[in-house]
Amino acid sequence: MSNTTAVTDDAPLTRPADVSFWEAFRLWLKLGFMGFGGPAAQIALMHRELVEQRRWISERRFLHALNYCMLLPGPEAQQLATYMGWLMHRTWGGIVAGVLFVLPGLCFLIGLSWLYIAYGDVPLVAGLFYGIKPAVTAVVVYAVHRIGSRALKNNVLWAIAAAAFVAIFAFNVPFPAIVAAAIVIGYIGGRVAPDKFEAGGGHGSAKQSYGPAIIDDDTPTPAHALFRWSKLARVLIIGAILWSVPMALLNMVYGWDHTFTQMGWFFTKAALLTFGGAYAVLPYIYQGAITNHGWLTPTQMIDGLALGEANPGPLIMVVAFVGFVGAYVKALFGPDMLFAAGAFAAVLVSWFTFLPSFIFILAGGPFVETTHGNLKFTAPLTAITAAVVGVILNLAVFFAYHVLWPKGFAGSFDWIAALLVVLAAVALVRYKRNVMQVIAASALIGLLLKTVVNV
């Protein structure tokens, strides 16, 4: 260990026994049911279970894997679980860890989506969502503050964020075009003014040891985790087959313009654009799912985000809600099979959304383990993160408009909803309450306002 690592006084001195595949299986299933609170909470939960309590992996190796996952598009917590499972139990260990991390949340969200779309007009449900929507607006504003405070370290990055906001808000520039422009700016800027594009924040280096781990700092890289070109080619070929076969079948059975086929293609693109976390891709989803495809309404998008926040698993799982509602409303399997259509679409979009994450880990993990270098954000990724702040700010404005002026500017301003937004923001920022607590409290207030006070 390095001289910067401190060992706790009560740290065990003996190495834990090796972990069986099925013991790891039970832990990944447990984490799948406990993964509330967004990526930060999910990563902290994995750290406590894997590093602190069970000592399956050392602090330094855990952070090394996390830094790689932070560089990738996609849900970093789910990718980290996949990486840990792969490192310990080869390819099937990674697949099982990644699938179990999202499977409980997918099942819950399918059920919640059905209750929402089938019974959303019931006063009880309507009251709950009346309180939830302002809370979600506050959560998105808080995300702008949290990400911006880490990412915008100088005037150049502030300017990129401002330009991204103006581009999407005033000119409705597609999100992929904003990402592409940020990549170009970051690439050029990293060479012209590299000090302006240095990565900020990050997860640092290991400062503490919890005792010897099964995969410790000096543990040799397992044979299956060594980089080989043949392994990389095999993963890429299998990944391409797993993507192209379902897409080809959808195209053959339904045609390219059918909703199912377009959902598969749309969420594949979304999976490759989620730099900066789920909040970064939400504007792209609402821009495509609402404006371009008409799969759901702005109000339904806000409600779906609320369900996603209250659901275990990655927040990007909200794509399952979008798929379910789009297929249910369009009755793609006929009027007698609404739930079946929605459930099929939810599974379909989840497949195309999460498949790239598995490919990234199984293809790139061996390179990361072989090099053992300290990975950092490149200048283009730093620029993307700055642009993401402006895009998420636009999302906050979008949500605020639909919550505070539910009937448009021609209608009345909802002062009660505005007060709930402020209260939720204060709870998040001032009193550091977690998202689940804020949403639950806001839902209860909304229920009381609609059923008891009858506002």
What is the mean pLDDT for each group of 10 consecutive residues in the chain (455 residues)? 46 80 94 76 83 87 78 84 95 96 93 88 78 85 81 91 93 82 89 77 51 85 89 96 97 96 94 70 82 89 82 86 95 95 97 95 87 54 82 84 87 93 93 84 90 76
Using alpha carbons, list the distances in angstroms from residue 190 to 72, 233, 429: 19, 31, 33
Find the farthest-apart pair of alpha carbons in the chain and give their distance in angstroms, rounded. Answer: 69
Q: H or E element: which one contains 7?
A: strand 6-7
pLDDT of residue 373: 44
Q: Are 360 and 72 in contact (CB under 8 A)?
A: yes
One-letter amino acid at 109 equals L
pLDDT of residue 208: 57
Dist. CA 281–CA 387, nearest whole Å: 12
> Going by C-beta distance under 8 Å and a sequence separation of 6 or more, which residues neighbour residue 367?
227, 232
Dist. CA 165–CA 391, nearest whole Å: 5
> What does the block give as tokens for 433?
């309450």
Backbone angles phi, psi at 216, to 5 degrees: -95, 180
Using CB atoms within 10 A of its CB, is residue 41 exposed (0-12), middle (13-18) or buried (19+)? middle
Dist. CA 288–CA 59, nearest whole Å: 40
One-letter amino acid at 444 equals L
pLDDT of residue 275: 64
With tokens 């009880």, the residue in question is 124
Task: Give the Cβ contact number of residue 197 at 10 Å.
Answer: 28
Q: Are 340 and 333 in contact (CB under 8 A)?
A: yes
Angle between helix axes 123-151 and 435-448 (nearest 10 degrees) is 150
Task: Give the Cβ contact number of residue 204 at 10 Å.
Answer: 8
Q: H or E element: which one contains 90?
A: helix 76-119
Dist. CA 281–CA 273, nearest whole Å: 6
Strand partners, 6: 208
pLDDT of residue 211: 81
Which among 55, 24, 48, 54 is positioned nearest to 213, based on CA atoms? Answer: 55
Dist. CA 244–CA 397, nearest whole Å: 37
Dist. CA 1–CA 218, nearest whole Å: 8
Dist. CA 322–CA 452, nearest whole Å: 32
Backbone angles phi, psi at 341, to 5 degrees: -65, -45
Helices and strands (H and E) in the chain: how many: 16, 2
pLDDT of residue 274: 66
Backbone angles phi, psi at 257, to 5 degrees: -85, -5
Q: Are 99 and 79 in contact (CB under 8 A)?
A: no
Using CB atoms within 10 A of its CB, is residue 10 exposed (0-12), middle (13-18) or buried (19+)? exposed
> Going by C-beta distance under 8 Å and a sequence separation of 6 or more, which residues neighbour residue 267?
319, 323, 349, 352, 353
Q: Are 342 and 320 in contact (CB under 8 A)?
A: no
